[in-house]
Structure 1
Amino acid sequence: MVLGLTGFAQAQDTTNVEQFSLYHPSISGSYLAGRGAFEDRENDLAASYFLDALEADWGNIALLDRAFVALVSAGRVEEAEMVAKQLLSVEPDNELARIAVGVVALKERRYASARKTLEGMSKDSLFGIMGNVVWSWAVEEELGGKAAVDNLEPISQPGFKNFLTFQAALMADLSGDVKLAENLYAEAYEADPFVFRIVEAYARFLGNQGKYDEAMDVIQRYHDRGLTHVNIDEVEALITQKKRPGRMADNVQQGAAETLRGLSSALSREQASDISIVLMRLARFLHPKSDLITFSIADLMDRAERFETANALYGQVHRNSPLHGQALVRTAENLQEIGDIDEAIRKLSNLANTMPDNLTAVIALGDALRRDKRYTEAAVAYDKALEMTGGTRTIDWHLYYVRGIAHERDGEWEKAESDFLKALELNPDQPQVLNYLGYSWVDQKLELKRALEMIEKAVALRPEDGYIVDSLGWAYYRLERFEEATETLERAARLSPSDPTINDHLGDAYWQVDRKREARFQWSIALELTDEDDGDLAEKIQQKLDGNLTDLKRVAELSN
């Protein structure tokens, strides 16, 4: 049983509380405070609360587990090791605790201890497989790459094959087994040619062997897909100069850190989970100088909406790192999230001026200006971005799209329409663009048939997106297909029940099909959902509620 990642997610509150005696209110109080802090991603505070509770009940498995996970999540790995050892004394099958103890031993070059701790872990479970890879890195140091690679060979769990092949390639590369490394890198690359770390590692390996043309082919294939990454750009610059770029992992600690980082990234694609944060913190413990890992932890904090914590981490990215510019941009973007839009724009403007080649900064400046409703200035920033890219790449659809939004909001419809059409030229099946242009045409009663086709296509691509479904319902409304509009807008409201515009549209549709009581109720909901940014919408909704709407024409007028 792995309480660190099942206990937090699955244990029932009543069960947890019942584990603490009513005769020790300070224990239960510290536990509850720690749980609340952990849920809010205040990991350092949570760890302190759980440790307070542990002082009175050191043998409590639930408290040990929670303190251990919170300590690792806060980056206090050495303290977590002490708690993990105690946890293993009462729960020896806790795989995550074994991994943490093994990682500390690996960091301290106690390779025999690391192997002993991780020996015999399952080759079927997520943590067991992870432990086996870390074990292999410990073996790599003393017995060499072949022994390390052989340990991974029997693992056959679905979804892990290419990950393990890549790890084996890194191990063989570090051990100096060039032939084995080349075969494994090639196998991993052909299976996943657009994963930036695989591309980077393979290009580095080829460059280190003096195979510069082959390395450039690998990088160019990545770029041809419309993909970019600053790490790839850094390797490309070295390859272009025919300089050997060096290995991705120069020692077993860095190799094991890449193992943990890679798994964390794979697990965090949807959200910043407890697992992903723990793994990334262990990775940073092994390789504290890795700017990529530091940046990745900050990104996880972003997704958890811990913006101040994220900014503190972005501030630790070294100024000579290729990620430094992105870290500065993210810091400014987080200032927007905490409400300091003026400071964010100031920082981004400075970045765009002092780092004129930083495309990310220019785009972020445009986004910040657009968010602040400074649409003309935003369009100018997007102009600069398109000049920098040339405006012909597939991924440039997004720049035309956001510039089109800026023009549309600024009352420059012809420019906006041109940008949206250009975005669709580069990416014909992009649902956001199909929806925005289609909705704009519908709202202006232009190109109604073509607009409907676009929105129907967008809905087919994103059937669970309430905003796109709303656009389809509103297109039906404009075409006076009110029954279809009502049915579609009801679905949109179910998908996005907190959006005032969708609820307003549904109210209009109800009115048109003579469901007037439901219409007024829906408008009341819409009005309650509006905020200070929805002033015009709120005014129109209030007019509908205040007026004696006896005819359908008046509702239509207020819907414009």
Structure 2
Amino acid sequence: MNCSKKLHHLLLASAMVLGTNGFAQAQDITNIEQFSLYHPSISGSYLAGRGAFEDRQNDLAASYFMDALEADWGNIALLDRAFVALVSAGRVEEAEMVAKQLLSVEPQNELARITVGVVALKERRYASALKTLEGMSKDSLFGITGNVIWSWAVTDVKNGQVGVENLEPISQPGFKNFLVFQSALMADLSGDLKLAEALYDQAYEADPFVFRIVEAYARFLGNQGKFDAALDIIKRYNDRGLTHVNIETLTEMLAQKKRPGRMANNVQQGAAETLRGLSSALSREQASDISILMMRLAGFLHPKSDLITFSIADLMERADRFEVANAHYAKVGRDSPLHGEALVRTAENLQEIGDVDEAIRKLSNLANTMPDNLTAVIALGDALRRDKRYEEAAKAYDLALEMTGGERTIDWHLYYVRGIAHERDGAWEKAEQDFLQALELNPDQPQVLNYLGYSWVDQEMQLERALEMIEKAVALRPEDGYIVDSLGWAYYRLERFEEAVETLERAARLSPSDPTINDHLGDAYWQVDRKREARYQWSIALELTTEDDEELAEEIRKKLKGDFSTLKRVADLSN
């Protein structure tokens, strides 16, 4: 496990310790019933605020909690709720006022101390920031975060070496390389180039494929006139099949031998990168409350950062707050490398909220007006495919592959999605060719192994080879219910019914809400003469079907009525 993954898992564990909402709960509001006896509006505002916060309507939640707080400024739980909601809504200056009140009754609240310290740092009140953040824990998530921000503050007051020395004693697993990277940024800003280079090199060797580390190190080398070395750093990143618009823009500058400038030009930007990096690590799988909160603090410190603005939008998108996400994407500057991707994500979000035609129209316009925007072309193909316009989708993917050349490792995905479009459009030979080409570029890609293997199984083609592919996919993704289902169905087609039952039962446990998996399990039960369980499983599958599964639903209804003509027949192994 590399350092980034260790940090991510530690942050997740910290979030669990801090509470299910991702922040430290001061206490339950045990007196809310007493409040409602004398102030009926208090409980109403509190409950409305809680509901809004759970729905990630953070701005509305903050307003409700503030209404409730007006009646009792000494209530720790209400203070905590209002404070967190305000920060999560980006109302950081208001949150600071509540944080100070919270600290008056709960002086060890680390998140409140960080917020007060961040506001002081933003306003260049460095002595106040240092005093607020002094002596924070070096063991907890927020304590370590406070220590890094303290180090940024002292870097402006004294020098980067003092900030680096403050971080050296922190030994919490998972944070080591993150802290080395932060120390490199501090040394770079303070002009200690020898220390900065050593720290950048250490961070890079530990995590050579984290785009922000790659970007910062390449910038540092470019600023020293070491353009070839900087480009070598980026080439290693690209050779791994990785890409990022910031890296692409930086590559152009370095190729022209232009000095790109530091990643952090002042301590405010440096501390913003600290908070952005922690938020990004924590949100790798989901947009947690802590990740949103930290990104909001980052945005407060560095409001002109398009990367942070884009990241806030991304978090809102992951929280299904698509309209809020689009409002933030609209703030990404036209001259930003992220502008094109922001436009694409805006269109994709329109599709998420049901405006499919407008989403496709916007993406078509983007593909025409920004012919070099590969992201727009791929997104157009994806939107058309989701709208079941498979032939048009395949043509969009054709264009994307023309743009890339189709030979990069990362191009496996374009062949894969074009293969899906061809397969859904009934052009199996084209689809099969695309899937095989995807595997040429990435032989261990479980999605492709599974899709091609399952397609062969479902068509009763190359069953033994298909089984090998699916077994490999399962080994790579053992907890993926859909891939395990493919293995069970391969066993079924090969008349290995007992193995099919065992495997499909496991798939149903992993993905209990999928109608196809439950239908497959019913078929397998029937073949081993477990007829009652088969009918029960088919009933479950039927209940799980939606309007998009009407063909499957009709097959299930026939089986439940005793018509087994649609029961998937077993392969004729003599062929």
Deviation at 1:8, TM superposition (A): 3.5
Deviation at 1:485, TM superposition (A): 1.3
Aligned to 2:7: none
Instruction: Say whether the 8 Å CA contact 1:165–1:188 is kept in structure 2.
Output: yes
Aligned to 1:474: 489
Residue 555 (structure 1) aligned with residue 567 (structure 2): yes
Task: Choose which of 231, 255, 260 in structure 2 pairs with 1:216.
Answer: 231
Deviation at 1:174, TM superposition (A): 1.0
- SS of residue in 2 equivalent to 1:556: coil
Residue 103 (structure 1) aligned with residue 118 (structure 2): yes
Cα 1:7–1:485 change in 2 (3 A) is closer
Whole-Å Cα distance in 2 between the matches of residues 266 and 3 of structure 1?
A: 15
Q: Which moved more, 1:151-160 or 1:352-361?
A: 151-160
Whole-Å Cα distance in 1 between the matches of residues 337 and 236 of structure 2?
A: 21
Give the counterpart letter for 1:158 in structure 2. Answer: P
Cα 1:328–1:442 change in 2 (3 A) is same
Residue 461 (structure 1) aligned with residue 476 (structure 2): yes
Cα 1:3–1:488 change in 2 (3 A) is closer
Whole-Å Cα distance in 2 between the matches of residues 11 and 525 of structure 1?
A: 40
- SS of residue in 2 equivalent to 1:242: coil
Whole-Å Cα distance in 2 between the matches of residues 548 and 245 of structure 1?
A: 71
Give the counterpart letter for 2:187 in structure 1. Answer: A
- The Cα RMSD (Å) is 2.1
Whole-Å Cα distance in 2 between the matches of residues 116 and 481 of structure 1?
A: 70
- SS of residue in 2 equivalent to 1:247: coil
Instruction: Say whether the 8 Å CA contact 2:340–2:373 is kept in structure 1.
Output: yes
Task: Choose which of 79, 97, 100 in structure 2 pairs with 1:82.
Answer: 97
Deviation at 1:25, TM superposition (A): 3.0
Instruction: Say whether the 8 Å CA contact 1:544–1:558 is kept in structure 2.
Output: no
Residue 253 (structure 1) aligned with residue 268 (structure 2): yes
Question: 1:319-367 CA deviation, whole Å, 9 max, x = no partner?
Answer: 1100001101111111111111111111111111111111111111111
Q: Which moved more, 1:19-28 or 1:289-298?
A: 19-28
Give the counterpart letter for 2:394 in structure 1. Answer: A
Deviation at 1:143, TM superposition (A): 0.7
Aligned to 1:527: 542
Residue 6 (structure 1) aligned with residue 41 (structure 2): no
Whole-Å Cα distance in 2 between the matches of residues 184 and 484 of structure 1?
A: 54
Aligned to 2:194: 179
Residue 503 (structure 1) aligned with residue 515 (structure 2): no
For residues 213-362 of structure 1, the aligned pairs below 5 Å read 213-362=228-377
Give the counterpart letter for 2:29 in structure 1. Answer: N
Identical-residue share of aligned pairs (%): 82
Whole-Å Cα distance in 1 between the matches of residues 462 and 78 of structure 2?
A: 63
Cα 1:2–1:200 change in 2 (3 A) is closer
Deviation at 1:111, TM superposition (A): 0.6
Whole-Å Cα distance in 2 between the matches of residues 118 and 164 of structure 1?
A: 17
Whole-Å Cα distance in 2 between the matches of residues 90 and 167 of structure 1?
A: 33
Deviation at 1:26, TM superposition (A): 2.1
Cα 1:558–1:365 change in 2 (3 A) is farther
- SS of residue in 2 equivalent to 1:96: helix
Aligned to 1:391: 406
For residues 477-488 of structure 1, the aligned pairs below 5 Å read 477-488=492-503
Aligned to 1:413: 428
Deviation at 1:183, TM superposition (A): 1.4
Instruction: Say whether the 8 Å CA contact 1:4–1:68 is kept in structure 2.
Output: no
Normalised TM-score (structure 2): 0.94
Give the counterpart letter for 1:169 in structure 2. Answer: A
Aligned to 2:182: 167
Question: 1:102-152 CA deviation, whole Å, 9 max, x = no partner?
Answer: 000000110110011001111111111111111111111111222222211
Cα 1:239–1:349 change in 2 (3 A) is same
Whole-Å Cα distance in 2 between the matches of residues 284 and 489 of structure 1?
A: 47
- SS of residue in 1 equivalent to 2:522: helix
Deviation at 1:559, TM superposition (A): 12
Whole-Å Cα distance in 1 between the matches of residues 504 and 424 of structure 2?
A: 24
**Larger relative contact order (Cα-Cα within 8 Å, sequence gap ≥ 6):** 2
Cα 1:558–1:311 change in 2 (3 A) is farther
Task: Choose which of 396, 403, 407 in structure 2 pairs with 1:381.
Answer: 396
Instruction: Say whether the 8 Å CA contact 1:140–1:148 is kept in structure 2.
Output: yes
Question: 1:43-99 CA deviation, whole Å, 9 max, x = no partner?
Answer: 001101111110111100011001000000000000000000000000000001000
Instruction: Say whether the 8 Å CA contact 1:107–1:253 is kept in structure 2.
Output: yes
Aligned to 1:50: 65
Give the counterpart letter for 1:63 in structure 2. Answer: L
Instruction: Say whether the 8 Å CA contact 1:442–1:474 is kept in structure 2.
Output: yes
For residues 513-524 of structure 1, the aligned pairs below 5 Å read 513-524=528-539
Instruction: Say whether the 8 Å CA contact 1:41–1:304 is kept in structure 2.
Output: yes
Whole-Å Cα distance in 2 between the matches of residues 411 and 372 of structure 1?
A: 16
Question: 1:279-303 CA deviation, whole Å, 9 max, x = no partner?
Answer: 0000000000000000001111111
- SS of residue in 1 equivalent to 2:336: coil
Cα 1:7–1:474 change in 2 (3 A) is closer
Whole-Å Cα distance in 2 between the matches of residues 4 and 114 of structure 1?
A: 27
Question: 1:220-274 CA deviation, whole Å, 9 max, x = no partner?
Answer: 1111111111111111111111111011111111111001101111111121111
Normalised TM-score (structure 1): 0.96
Aligned to 2:109: 94
Whole-Å Cα distance in 1 between the matches of residues 17 and 314 of structure 2?
A: 22
Aligned to 2:460: 445
Give the counterpart letter for 2:231 in structure 1. Answer: M
Aligned to 2:165: 150
Whole-Å Cα distance in 1 between the matches of residues 19 and 115 of structure 2?
A: 17
Whole-Å Cα distance in 2 between the matches of residues 110 and 254 of structure 1?
A: 15
Q: Which moved more, 1:73-82 or 1:512-521?
A: 512-521
Whole-Å Cα distance in 2 between the matches of residues 559 and 93 of structure 1?
A: 68
Whole-Å Cα distance in 2 between the matches of residues 256 and 529 of structure 1?
A: 48
Whole-Å Cα distance in 1 between the matches of residues 567 and 25 of structure 2?
A: 50
- SS of residue in 1 equivalent to 2:479: coil
Deviation at 1:521, TM superposition (A): 1.9
Whole-Å Cα distance in 1 between the matches of residues 80 and 285 of structure 2?
A: 25
Instruction: Say whether the 8 Å CA contact 1:34–1:45 is kept in structure 2.
Output: yes
Deviation at 1:556, TM superposition (A): 3.2
Cα 1:226–1:556 change in 2 (3 A) is closer
Whole-Å Cα distance in 2 between the matches of residues 45 and 71 of structure 1?
A: 9
Residue 69 (structure 1) aligned with residue 81 (structure 2): no
Unaligned ranges ≥5, structure 2: 1-13
Whole-Å Cα distance in 1 between the matches of residues 221 and 15 of structure 2?
A: 41
- SS of residue in 1 equivalent to 2:285: coil
The number of residues matched between the two structures is 557
Give the counterpart letter for 1:16 in structure 2. Answer: I
Instruction: Say whether the 8 Å CA contact 2:23–2:289 is kept in structure 1.
Output: no
Unaligned ranges ≥5, structure 1: none
Whole-Å Cα distance in 2 between the matches of residues 13 and 157 of structure 1?
A: 25
Cα 1:559–1:54 change in 2 (3 A) is farther
